Chains A and B, each alone.
Chain A
């Protein structure tokens, strides 16, 4: 399934946020949603269908994978029912490409003096 990473672009906002959340380390589903909500100051709130629908698609296209089950001492709420997800190498590559793409767009906008950072003198 190792398709050309570029064929995955552009990512939907939800997929992008999930990848960003998992880039920091493995998470279970609820923690992903929580992370995204915190990171975006509540701007992106995912319902269960959105979250697990996206996870399922991301598993299919091998952007993420399930981490092997284990007990984690640092999380008091840890629980055997939980599954943890992590980014694959392929997913990491896709994320990089997407961020580069977004960055290029922002640079273009800056160049045209559409966003802050380089006001016309």
Chain B
């Protein structure tokens, strides 16, 4: 029992800390004694009442502390309002702050509503800023990050292409703009020799790449130039800290250990420091020399498959670097015209490469929350104007005591800033919750570690800065007005009903409604494009479809025959699994992110200039792929077992390609060449499918049989009779029955890939919609407030009208007519703002233009309806005015 009591006493003593120090000094001992006595009494009643008593006591302390603080502040203030003159600026500030706190404390209703409105606006901005800061503003975590660039290949007019390793070697030798150029090819690698075959996220790199990205080593060393070059390469590897922990049990003797990767034995020479996201913002499990890139032709001059990252010399510009490399590339085109004709180089900052794709989404969200904050500001400005009358009385007292115009203006501004800061403090709680929510929603779509997003000092600094800016924004107009108009003027317009006043208030309402409309329109357009996106027919049936991937180690599968046999046996095993309806292999399954395109040549037509040839998205498949995917076969036949190495090279093209190349004519029997020298005969035309994204413009597509183009990497598609994900384990085991060392990964249902491809559109839409709703709510409160206030001012007029025989309906109609005028202006302004800002949305829309009239019509109706509903209450109140009361008030 004593234990409980002493525990209570300790908690109670701490709880007293919420009272002002002066109060504690005076009453602390007494309050302790009071509690002891009470406990002594309560103890006789048993345990439960003691707990109850404790709860009641703490609630009492929490409830009364704010009042004690307030009364102490007011008391001090009352002393300060004696003719004590401020001595210096700090003194003035202190006095202004005291007055401001007192003024706000006097009107708790206004203060709470205004602070909460501001907290909403500031909190939303702070939350979105915390994401923007982490993604777009903070420097990338690499040495000399501002000088890091990505070099892409250019084919004809098409940028963003891969680079050939041989070209990279020449660039590195000949350029004058770079401190260092490095190269990288990311690809998964098979790890064998353990309990079960495993797949690691691998990176094939040059030693110079590691120097450019500069990851610190936890243990061991990095690679040397000689160790990564083709002629002198050494079988060595660096593992990431993460892989060291998760795959190798943080083995202390890791350095010097050997790993069997893709069938080759590598010796570990180093462990990279933690969290080194050095490959486009992701962390590779294991890095090995680029010379070990498994595809035989992967490093040849004609194969553009590697990425190149460079560090510019200090002072070198991106443009100069591009000119430098393009000049070298021109030389190479002369020298190697067969492979390099029409190729070039483009240089893009690494930051742009990594975060560029998030910019659109984040800009929209940032604009949305900025609009919410502006609306909140307009609303608070209106609330302040509504307080005009009482304010003037108070200020005139101060002026009578000798305060100049400047001091009074300063006072008003101080009060606004204090109010905004109160809102800012409240907003932090909101922002911390909102940030977590936003990160949970879009964290995985962002190119940064979501754990780095949060309310750090920078973000809190931002919240502080916009709080102050907000305070100035809505405090400056009334402050300036006070400074301009002398006191006598203010007193003359005592009740604040001056015409100018009302105009200002209506302008503020127009601003709020117009901004809400613009935000609603944006949310509406995003909603429509999401709906359009979800209705896109991908060209195949994604229902109950399981996909997975695997890559054969080239050392083990060193001939086309071995690969073909492995694929055939795998397919037979897959089809034998109970619960499998159909199964097929395809090099790149749709929406998986994989896929390749090649220039196409049509027999009998002049070859297009290099770089200008139409590009065909090419996929290698097993027999039965089209039927397994339920891609319609429009003409001809599917691949058969008989289409194998040595038989007639065949190809199936999609409708888009057939129609574009042979309009009004059958494509079957025609011959084409796809990126190589083999003439392939078209045997069928298949339906069009979406491959990389649902919103891509239709690609020209072609399929060739796996057996005629054997490659070590493939995906599998399996249509299940039931839940596809339940088949993951049997599928893995089926493949292990063919090769017990073969890892299989990325088990996903097509449903997941389909919904994943709209995930980012979906979250942008939801968040914009949420902010639009908040904006609409705040704006409705705004118009409601203004109208209530105007009606209160017009009581006499309404009273006279009623006395003269107007009935309630007529009065309501009159009020609504006035409101409609304001709403109509707001709608026009809002539509204009929407038109003007459409460019921001363009990149994020699909299937709907940024000036979609239908959407604008709907949001106009919604906004008008909500605004009118907000007007209805004041209108009804006006209609019930008792004419006698109204007139007597004269």
- Would A47 and B30 count as touching, CB distance under 8 A? no
Give bound CA distance, A106 to B271, whole Å. 88
A116 within 8 A of B: no
Give bound CA distance, A81 to B19, whole Å. 20
Give bound CA distance, A46 to B38, whole Å. 11
Main secondary structure of the interface of B (DSSP, over half): helix
- Determine which of B34, B59, B71 lies in contact with A56 in the assembled complex, contact meaning CB atoms within 8 Å: B71
Kindly identify, within residues 3 to 51 of chain B, every residue whose CB is under 8 Å from any CB belonging to chain A. Answer: 19, 23, 26-27, 29-31, 33-35, 37-38
- Would B71 and A57 count as touching, CB distance under 8 A? yes
CB distance from A44 to the nearest CB of B (A): 13
> B68 to chain A: which residues have CB within 8 Å?
49, 53, 56
> A103 to chain B: which residues have CB within 8 Å?
none
When A48-B31, A48-B34, A81-B29 are in contact, do A56 and B61 touch as well, CB less than 8 Å?
A: no
Give bound CA distance, A45 to B41, whole Å. 14
> B31 to chain A: which residues have CB within 8 Å?
29, 48, 52
Closest CB pairs A-B (n = 3) = A47-B60, A49-B64, A49-B61
Kindly identify, within residues 36 to 93 of chain A, every residue whose CB is under 8 Å from any CB belonging to chain B. Answer: 45-53, 55-57, 60, 79, 81-83
- Would A49 and B63 count as touching, CB distance under 8 A? yes
A-B contact sample (8 more), CB < 8 A, given A50-B63, A79-B33, A82-B33: A47-B59, A47-B60, A48-B31, A48-B34, A48-B35, A48-B57, A56-B26, A60-B75
A33 within 8 A of B: yes
B602 within 8 A of A: no
B333 within 8 A of A: no
CB distance from B775 to the nearest CB of A (A): 40
- Would A81 and B34 count as touching, CB distance under 8 A? no
> B65 to chain A: which residues have CB within 8 Å?
49
- Would A50 and B29 count as touching, CB distance under 8 A? no
> What are some 28 contacts across the A-B interface (CB < 8 A)?
A29-B30, A29-B34, A30-B34, A30-B37, A45-B56, A46-B60, A47-B57, A47-B59, A47-B64, A48-B35, A49-B19, A49-B62, A50-B60, A50-B63, A52-B23, A52-B27, A53-B64, A53-B71, A55-B27, A56-B23, A56-B68, A56-B71, A57-B71, A60-B71, A60-B75, A79-B33, A81-B30, A83-B30
B477 within 8 A of A: no
CB distance from A65 to the nearest CB of B (A): 14
CB distance from A17 to the nearest CB of B (A): 15
When A56-B68, A56-B71, A57-B71 are in contact, do A47 and B56 touch as well, CB less than 8 Å?
A: yes
Residues of B with Cβ closer than 8 Å to A? 19, 23, 26-27, 29-31, 33-35, 37-38, 56-57, 59-65, 67-68, 71, 75
- Would A52 and B30 count as touching, CB distance under 8 A? yes
- Would A33 and B64 count as touching, CB distance under 8 A? no
> B63 to chain A: which residues have CB within 8 Å?
49-50
When A30-B33, A33-B34 are in contact, do A50 and B27 touch as well, CB less than 8 Å?
A: no
Give bound CA distance, A79 to B61, whole Å. 25
Give bound CA distance, A82 to B61, whole Å. 21
Give bound CA distance, A87 to B65, whole Å. 24
Give bound CA distance, A49 to B24, whole Å. 11
Give bound CA distance, A73 to B447, whole Å. 79
> B23 to chain A: which residues have CB within 8 Å?
52, 56
> B29 to chain A: which residues have CB within 8 Å?
81
Query: Residue on B with the closest CB to A83?
Result: B30
Give bound CA distance, A110 to B735, whole Å. 96
> A55 to chain B: which residues have CB within 8 Å?
27
- Would A48 and B71 count as touching, CB distance under 8 A? no
> B57 to chain A: which residues have CB within 8 Å?
47-48
Give bound CA distance, A73 to B470, whole Å. 64
- Would B27 and A56 count as touching, CB distance under 8 A? yes
Query: Residue on B with the closest CB to A32?
Result: B34
> A83 to chain B: which residues have CB within 8 Å?
30
> B38 to chain A: which residues have CB within 8 Å?
30
- Would B33 and A49 count as touching, CB distance under 8 A? no
CB distance from A67 to the nearest CB of B (A): 14
Give bound CA distance, A81 to B31, whole Å. 11
Main secondary structure of the interface of A (DSSP, over half): helix
> B56 to chain A: which residues have CB within 8 Å?
45, 47
Query: Residue on A with the closest CB to B60?
Result: A47
Contact with B along A7-41 (1 / 0, CB 8 A): 00000000000000000000011100100000000
Query: Residue on B with the closest CB to A47?
Result: B60
> A28 to chain B: which residues have CB within 8 Å?
30
- Of residues A29, A52, A82, A83, which shows the largest number of chain B Cβ atoms within 10 Å of its Cβ? A52
Query: Residue on B with the closest CB to A55?
Result: B27
Query: Residue on A with the closest CB to B63?
Result: A49
> A47 to chain B: which residues have CB within 8 Å?
56-57, 59-61, 64
CB distance from B59 to the nearest CB of A (A): 8
When A56-B23, A57-B71, A60-B75 are in contact, do A49 and B30 touch as well, CB less than 8 Å?
A: no
> A29 to chain B: which residues have CB within 8 Å?
30-31, 33-34
Give bound CA distance, A70 to B60, whole Å. 31
CB distance from B103 to the nearest CB of A (A): 20
Give bound CA distance, A52 to B29, whole Å. 11
- Would B34 and A53 count as touching, CB distance under 8 A? no
> B67 to chain A: which residues have CB within 8 Å?
53
- Of residues A46, A48, A83, which shows the largest number of chain B Cβ atoms within 10 Å of its Cβ? A48
Give bound CA distance, A49 to B27, whole Å. 10
When A60-B75, A81-B33, A82-B33 are in contact, do A48 and B26 touch as well, CB less than 8 Å?
A: no
Give bound CA distance, A81 to B33, whole Å. 9
CB distance from A118 to the nearest CB of B (A): 33
Give bound CA distance, A30 to B39, whole Å. 12
- Determine which of B33, B35, B64 lies in contact with A50 in the assembled complex, contact meaning CB atoms within 8 Å: B64
Give bound CA distance, A76 to B75, whole Å. 38
Query: Residue on B with the closest CB to A28?
Result: B30
Query: Residue on B with the closest CB to A79?
Result: B33
> A51 to chain B: which residues have CB within 8 Å?
34
> B19 to chain A: which residues have CB within 8 Å?
49
> A57 to chain B: which residues have CB within 8 Å?
71
CB distance from B80 to the nearest CB of A (A): 15
Give bound CA distance, A53 to B62, whole Å. 12
Query: Residue on B with the closest CB to A57?
Result: B71
Query: Residue on B with the closest CB to A59?
Result: B26
- Determine which of B26, B60, B71 lies in contact with A49 in the assembled complex, contact meaning CB atoms within 8 Å: B60
> A45 to chain B: which residues have CB within 8 Å?
56
> B26 to chain A: which residues have CB within 8 Å?
56
- Would B75 and A48 count as touching, CB distance under 8 A? no
Give bound CA distance, A50 to B27, whole Å. 12
Give bound CA distance, A99 to B35, whole Å. 31
Give bound CA distance, A56 to B74, whole Å. 13
Give bound CA distance, A71 to B23, whole Å. 25
Give bound CA distance, A55 to B64, whole Å. 12
Give bound CA distance, A56 to B720, whole Å. 77
CB distance from B52 to the nearest CB of A (A): 12
Give bound CA distance, A48 to B63, whole Å. 11
> A48 to chain B: which residues have CB within 8 Å?
31, 34-35, 57, 60-61
CB distance from B476 to the nearest CB of A (A): 37
Give bound CA distance, A107 to B34, whole Å. 38
Give bound CA distance, A52 to B64, whole Å. 9
- Would B30 and A82 count as touching, CB distance under 8 A? yes
CB distance from B473 to the nearest CB of A (A): 37
CB distance from A29 to the nearest CB of B (A): 5
> A79 to chain B: which residues have CB within 8 Å?
33
Query: Residue on A with the closest CB to B33?
Result: A81
- Of residues B57, B59, B61, which shows the largest number of chain A Cβ atoms within 10 Å of its Cβ? B61
> B37 to chain A: which residues have CB within 8 Å?
30
CB distance from A80 to the nearest CB of B (A): 11
Query: Residue on A with the closest CB to B64?
Result: A49
Query: Residue on A with the closest CB to B41?
Result: A34
CB distance from A12 to the nearest CB of B (A): 11
Give bound CA distance, A70 to B328, whole Å. 102
Give bound CA distance, A57 to B68, whole Å. 8
Give bound CA distance, A30 to B61, whole Å. 16
CB distance from B435 to the nearest CB of A (A): 35
Give bound CA distance, A83 to B26, whole Å. 10
Give bound CA distance, A51 to B33, whole Å. 13
CB distance from A82 to the nearest CB of B (A): 7
